[in-house]
């Protein structure tokens, strides 16, 4: 049995409102008042909701995370948010290198690595995302692409979480098989070398209550990074409840 605590992380992306944040925290709190989760819970809302949701989640002992940060601690970067600012708001984690950032904001591995290093310097744990497209998988490049992203995106040292998110399974309704997930997570664990024994590996890609138990029971999976299903407290809790005790 692994001593790596399971992490159930929700990525709200560009969704949510103050009212939705309040309702989510209230509903999640009702579940936690009855049963403590076997896993560590984390919610990553849009920047506009970090303070409000953080205040609501803190008494519940649910972690707060951000969806991105800048590589610099301050400066003339209009519209960006620095890692120290996120830490000041009570964030413990920050997602970096999500496929949507890589695709739509043209972030390369060096950029992702710089952001992860900035997160570590601010006392945050970066959740570094890697994943291949459908075309890359079909052409037999999945491991080389994901391995290259891992090599280029991870800081030289420091505690990180790695999230494997096959791009073809994010918000598409397509699901990686349990064998697909086990194969890639095993590859990542081996590629990480000695530090891999303590590094949590999350799976993300159309995770929902109906498939959470199977995914979480897969070898080398230490949790999940949940997209759309994390917006509803009932679904998020159902996924958390599927987590095995460690």
136-168 pLDDT, tens digit each: 999 999 999 999 999 999 999 999 999 999 998
In a domain, 6, yes or no: no
Q: Per-residue pLDDT tens for 82-138?
A: 999 999 999 999 999 999 999 999 999 999 999 999 999 999 999 999 999 999 999
Q: Is the CB of residue 33 less than 8 Å from the CB of residue 1?
A: no
Question: Any idea which residues carry the catalytic annotation?
Answer: 98, 165
In a domain, 2, yes or no: no
Q: Per-residue pLDDT tens for 24-51?
A: 999 999 999 999 999 999 999 999 999 9
Q: Is the CB of residue 6 less than 8 Å from the CB of residue 241?
A: no
Residue in the structure block whose two tokens are 């959470």? 212
Residue 174 pLDDT level (bands cut at 50, 70, 90): confident
Report the share of the chain in percent with pLDDT over 90. 93
Joined together, the tokens standing for residue 48 give: 């506009």
In a domain, 7, yes or no: no
pTM over 0.85: yes
State which residues form the domain around 113.
25-195+213-241
- What is the SS3 assignment for 201? strand
In a domain, 203, yes or no: no
pLDDT of 244 reads: 84
pLDDT at 1 over 70: no
pLDDT at 172 over 90: no
Joined together, the tokens standing for residue 89 give: 């708001």
In a domain, 33, yes or no: yes
Joined together, the tokens standing for residue 149 give: 């992203």
Q: CB-based contacts of 184: which residues, under 8 Å, 6+ apart? A: 142, 143, 146, 164, 166, 176
Q: How far apart are CA 63 and CA 242, in angstroms?
A: 18
List the CATH number of the domain containing 230. Answer: 3.20.20.70
In a domain, 127, yes or no: yes
The closest of 233, 236, 234, 239 to 25, measured between CA atoms, is 233
Report the domain count for the chain: 1
């Amino acid at each position: 049995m692994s001593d790596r605590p399971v992490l159930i992380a929700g990525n709200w992306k560009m969704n949510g409102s103050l009212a939705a944040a309040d309702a989510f925290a209230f509903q999640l709190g009702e579940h936690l008042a009855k049963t403590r989760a076997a896993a560590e819970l984390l919610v990553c809302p849009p920047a506009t909701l970090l303070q409000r949701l953080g205040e609501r989640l803190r008494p519940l002992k649910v972690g707060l995370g951000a969806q991105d940060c800048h590589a610099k601690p301050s400066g003339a970067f209009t519209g960006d948010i620095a890692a120290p600012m996120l830490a000041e708001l009570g964030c413990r984690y920050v997602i970096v290198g999500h496929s949507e950032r890589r695709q739509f904001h043209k972030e390369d591995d060096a950029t992702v690595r710089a952001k992860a290093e900035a997160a570590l310097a601010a006392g945050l744990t970066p959740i570094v995302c890697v994943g291949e497209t459908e075309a890359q998988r079909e052409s037999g490049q999945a491991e080389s692409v994901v391995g290259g992203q891992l090599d280029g995106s991870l800081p030289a040292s420091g505690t990180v979480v790695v999230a494997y998110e096959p791009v073809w399974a994010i918000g598409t309704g397509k699901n990686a098989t349990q064998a697909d997930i086990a194969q890639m997570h095993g590859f990542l664990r081996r590629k990480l070398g000695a530090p891999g024994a303590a590094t949590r590996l999350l799976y993300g890609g159309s995770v929902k209550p109906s498939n959470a138990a199977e995914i979480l029971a897969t070898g080398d999976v230490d949790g999940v990074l949940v997209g759309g299903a994390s917006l509803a407290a009932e679904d998020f809790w159902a996924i958390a409840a599927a987590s095995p005790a460690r």
